[in-house]
Chains A and B, each alone.
Chain A
Amino acid sequence: MTPPTSDTPTPAVTLRGIGKTFGTLVALNDVSVALAPGSRHAIVGENGAGKSTLMKVLFGGLRPDTGEIRLDDKPVRFSSPQDAIRAGSGMVHQHFELIPPFTVAENVVLGAEVGEAVLNGSEAERLVGALAAESGLPIDPTARVETLSVAAQQRTEILKALYRKARVLVLDEPTATLAPSEAHDLWAAVHRLSGAGTTVVFITHKLSDVMEHAQFVTVLRRGERILTTSVRETSAAELARAMVGDGAASPVADTSSVVSRAADAPGETGLQVTALTVRGARGETLVDAATLTVRPGEIVGLAGVDGSGQNDLIEAIAGLRRAERGTITLNGKSLDALSVAQRRMAGIGYVPEDRHHRAMVLTQSLEENAVLGRHREPAFASGGFLKTGALKAFLVEKAAAFDVRGVVAGNAARSLSGGNQQKLVLARELSRSPALLLASQPTRGLDFGATAFVHDALKKERDRGAAVLVQSLDLAEVLALSDRVAVMLAGKIVAVLDKADATEERVGALMTGADIR
């Protein structure tokens, strides 16, 4: 397992035997990587593989439990990012750390105003302009950051690192939010920087980026280094296999016989999303012309690496995000002009990703949470007043049916454990027999028993004839639940696979863009 640095006697960076645990979770286990000076090195792996933890260790954000870091073969100890910057390592985070109302120049020199008490605006602008030209990162130093595109903000972040004389540049998911042409320009700059001697490490999910732009690649899986190799000596398929593990090349076991149910309900077309585009607050594209059908009686799973637009698509269907373009219909009825409440009336049940902020009001009572969204129905309210007795009876009934433990009427929702909270949310959302059930990360943070319960409930809904759309970052979960799998990458639905074709290997490749090549 010697890193491929034999031709370069002194690596710019050596990580040796790095281990890091959080409680019982082993985030990194004995990871060793060496980075040759001026090389481009990709770190790939699934969510939770330890990529970000490793980079935080390198950048001084986390102190490793074991192992050592050497820069230019000298051992270093970082107790803060400032130490790491001083030693010459710079990190560009996925979420930029810029001050929006400040100019590019001000952001770049902030905290590194060399020997001057007062920020010298024009001098800073001149220096930053020169640095930008020299490093091939075109930018207007006088522009305010909030007026810039995502790509230009990223260039500002990189300039920030270079201004601090970074010799090792760490880029976290650098192309995640860039348009293809912007990504192209970024890579051109990265190639130029590495040519000039800067060592560039980038974390990515996209194997196409690795194959085209890295010289070396390290694959992490569950905190362990699986492989480090020269890109010339590997293939996207091999990397995808290393990322998700072997023995995953078989279709998931048959879960049920209901795929034909769609035909049993003539006239019921289920959910039809057509060319849906959703933009975020800063104008970035979250969902890009997505087209998807979920028929009654089937579970469609959305697979994708984190932030590929899965949750945004679900929120747009639920009515929580406005679609810029495209249409959504449910059983032939257009949802486009409907409010969240109207969409629920039209038959949408929704299990949100963020249980504490989207699904429950933790400080309010369990019975009040149990009817949230149904509280205006005659069963629960009359004459403008809630029927307290009916609320409690409903809570007790649902708690029994969904095996929600620890329920005491009157207690706040936060008195339940996460798994029981999720069961209650599920009970509530299924109680109206939705025509379409949306579930976003429905088992995140749940233990084995609760997970199985949730899976079971989703399958029962499907068998009842509901159209079910599930998104999860856990690929195994998506594959186990889904009759069809839609794969998202950078906001686009890049493939919709039948269960038989949806192998972990194939979906893994599609998720990371390895298949596109």
Chain B
Amino acid sequence: MNFRNLLAGISRAAIALLVALLLGGIVIAVAQRDATAPIKAYSALLAGAVGSPQAWANTLSRTMPLLLTGIGVSVALAAGLFNIGAEGQLAVGGLAAATVGFAAKGVPAPLVLILALTASAVGGAVWAFLPAYLKEKRGAHEVITAILLNYVAQNVTRYLVANPLKDPTSGGNQRTPEVLATLPRLSSQYDVHAGLIIAVLAVVLVAVLLARSVWGYETRMVGAGSGAAEAAGIPVSTVRIRAMLASGALCGLGGAVLVLGVVPFKSFPADFYGAGYGFDGLAVALLAGGSPFGVLPSALLFGALGAGAEQMDFDAGVPKQIVAVVQGILIVAVAARFVLPRWRKK
């Protein structure tokens, strides 16, 4: 990807964002029956996203898991697969991290974290292996199986947290016991922790591997030209399964950084599934246009929209679901470009 393509990608995303904000503004104006409502709403959104150090902290906290699910989905996309199972993999990974995190009694804190992070990656990878395997060996479409497995993940994690893994003291607010160690905070004042660094490093590492490593090369070749890859002796099925495993592991890590920090959870709540970071990861990857490095700004944007939405709800009385509408329009605007003239510029 050269400089001109990068520029084209950025301007494409910027135009999509502008269109989305414009249409979202119309929705707000109509919903509030007030022509000035969009301006009030958007200034509150901006303030809530980047208007203060606390706003930045909120934005970055939300960006952190999105970086991991976003890059996870991007890896699958590079191999020509759509990992719509990110949400399920995130939940399974999160529960695996929480379980190891509270069960590893007597283990030094740094080791608890390493074990918990590893467990989340393995959990996410296992959950992603199922659709990948079923696709390659049985011809089942990964989108269908992954969607169904999302439901399974939702109900299995909820069941486990409500029963064997339940913290007996948690009462009606069912959750696992708190983890024995948390990721170190990056600031004494604000709730941003080392999970953010892990996430950024993961994005950079995966981006470099995709561009430069033999693994990344084979993944891209299979994704963009499976017939030629096959004729060149690249084991196409294996490469696809490997990409899906990597994708699931990254999404699983996304779950771990959510439960291993001071915010938001420190333990795994029964209603963890549906936090939306998995599905938003799909949006992040699509907005990034398949570029792994593009996940960095893309995740930041979605993190900012999410944080700003709370403020908008609070200050301007505009329901935060409106931001979901903006995000939806954004995805439609990007996806339309993404699906139709796929990679044409490259």
Binding site for B on A (CB under 8 A): 318, 320, 339-344, 350, 352, 354, 357-364, 368, 372-373, 375-376, 381, 384-386, 388, 410, 412
Which residue of A has the minimal Cβ distance to B216?
Answer: A386
Shortest distance from the beta carbon of B224 to any chain A beta carbon, whole Å: 5
Indicate with 1 or 0, residue by residue over B229-259, a CB within 8 angstroms of chain A CB atoms: 1111111000000000000000000000000
- Complex CA distance for A351 and B227, rounded to whole angstroms: 13
Asked if residues A363 and B232 are in contact (CB atoms below 8 Å), the reply is no
Asked if residues B217 and A386 are in contact (CB atoms below 8 Å), the reply is yes
Assess whether B2 is interfacial by the CB under 8 Å rule.
yes
Asked if residues A344 and B233 are in contact (CB atoms below 8 Å), the reply is yes
Q: Check A361/B214 contact, CB under 8 A, given A339-B235, A373-B232.
A: no
Chain B residues with CB below 8 A from A375, complex form: 214, 217-218
Asked if residues A364 and B231 are in contact (CB atoms below 8 Å), the reply is no
Interface size on B, as a range, is 20 to 34
- Complex CA distance for A236 and B114, rounded to whole angstroms: 80
Asked if residues B221 and A384 are in contact (CB atoms below 8 Å), the reply is no
Asked if residues B221 and A381 are in contact (CB atoms below 8 Å), the reply is no
Assess whether B205 is interfacial by the CB under 8 Å rule.
no
Which residue of A has the minimal Cβ distance to B231?
Answer: A358
Q: Which of A340, A363, A385, A410 contacts B230, CB < 8 Å?
A: A340
Q: Check A360/B228 contact, CB under 8 A, given A339-B233, A372-B221.
A: yes
Asked if residues B225 and A361 are in contact (CB atoms below 8 Å), the reply is yes
Among B177-223, those with CB < 8 Å from A are: 212-215, 217-218, 220-221
Assess whether B33 is interfacial by the CB under 8 Å rule.
no
- Complex CA distance for A344 and B234, rounded to whole angstroms: 11
Asked if residues A341 and B225 are in contact (CB atoms below 8 Å), the reply is no
- Complex CA distance for A363 and B346, rounded to whole angstroms: 6
Chain B residues with CB below 8 A from A354, complex form: 227
Nearest 4 pairs of A and B residues by beta carbon: A341-B233, A361-B225, A373-B232, A357-B227
Asked if residues A386 and B213 are in contact (CB atoms below 8 Å), the reply is yes
- Complex CA distance for A368 and B224, rounded to whole angstroms: 12
Q: Which of B212, B231, B234, B346 contacts A352, CB < 8 Å?
A: B231
Chain B residues with CB below 8 A from A386, complex form: 212-214, 217
Chain A residues with CB below 8 A from B218, complex form: 375
Assess whether B343 is interfacial by the CB under 8 Å rule.
yes
Known: A340-B230, A364-B225. 13 other contacts (CB 8 A): A320-B231, A350-B231, A352-B231, A359-B228, A359-B231, A361-B224, A361-B228, A363-B346, A372-B221, A373-B232, A373-B233, A375-B217, A386-B213
Chain B residues with CB below 8 A from A357, complex form: 225, 227-228
Q: Check A384/B215 contact, CB under 8 A, given A360-B225, A361-B224, A363-B343.
A: yes
Chain A residues with CB below 8 A from B235, complex form: 339, 341
Binding site for A on B (CB under 8 A): 2, 212-215, 217-218, 220-221, 224-225, 227-235, 343, 346
Which residue of B has the minimal Cβ distance to A373?
Answer: B232
Asked if residues A381 and B229 are in contact (CB atoms below 8 Å), the reply is no
Q: Check A381/B214 contact, CB under 8 A, given A340-B233, A372-B221, A412-B346.
A: yes
Chain B residues with CB below 8 A from A384, complex form: 213-215
Q: List 23 A-B contacts (CB under 8 A).
A: A318-B231, A320-B230, A341-B233, A341-B234, A343-B233, A344-B232, A350-B231, A357-B227, A358-B228, A359-B228, A359-B231, A361-B221, A361-B228, A361-B229, A364-B220, A368-B221, A372-B221, A373-B232, A375-B218, A381-B214, A385-B212, A386-B217, A410-B2
- Complex CA distance for A339 and B237, rounded to whole angstroms: 13
Which residue of A has the minimal Cβ distance to B5?
Answer: A412
Most buried by A among B225, B228, B234, B346: B228
Shortest distance from the beta carbon of A29 to any chain B beta carbon, whole Å: 37
Shortest distance from the beta carbon of B7 to any chain A beta carbon, whole Å: 16
Chain A residues with CB below 8 A from B233, complex form: 339-344, 373
Which residue of B has the minimal Cβ distance to A412?
Answer: B346
Chain B residues with CB below 8 A from A372, complex form: 221, 228-229, 232
Shortest distance from the beta carbon of B246 to any chain A beta carbon, whole Å: 14
Shortest distance from the beta carbon of A266 to any chain B beta carbon, whole Å: 30
Shortest distance from the beta carbon of B196 to any chain A beta carbon, whole Å: 27
Asked if residues B214 and A385 are in contact (CB atoms below 8 Å), the reply is yes
Asked if residues A385 and B213 are in contact (CB atoms below 8 Å), the reply is yes
- Complex CA distance for A385 and B227, rounded to whole angstroms: 23
Chain B residues with CB below 8 A from A359, complex form: 228, 231
Q: Check A364/B212 contact, CB under 8 A, given A357-B228, A358-B228, A359-B228.
A: no
Chain A residues with CB below 8 A from B214, complex form: 375-376, 381, 384-386
Chain A residues with CB below 8 A from B343, complex form: 363
Shortest distance from the beta carbon of B20 to any chain A beta carbon, whole Å: 27
Shortest distance from the beta carbon of B201 to any chain A beta carbon, whole Å: 18
Shortest distance from the beta carbon of A486 to any chain B beta carbon, whole Å: 22
Chain A residues with CB below 8 A from B232, complex form: 340, 344, 372-373
Q: Check A362/B212 contact, CB under 8 A, given A339-B235, A341-B235.
A: no
Which residue of B has the minimal Cβ distance to A368?
Answer: B217
Chain A residues with CB below 8 A from B234, complex form: 341, 373
Most buried by B among A363, A368, A376: A363
Chain B residues with CB below 8 A from A342, complex form: 233
Which residue of A has the minimal Cβ distance to B225?
Answer: A361
Shortest distance from the beta carbon of A424 to any chain B beta carbon, whole Å: 12
Which residue of A has the minimal Cβ distance to B233?
Answer: A341
Shortest distance from the beta carbon of A346 to any chain B beta carbon, whole Å: 11
Shortest distance from the beta carbon of B231 to any chain A beta carbon, whole Å: 5
Chain A residues with CB below 8 A from B217, complex form: 368, 375, 386
Asked if residues B225 and A388 are in contact (CB atoms below 8 Å), the reply is no
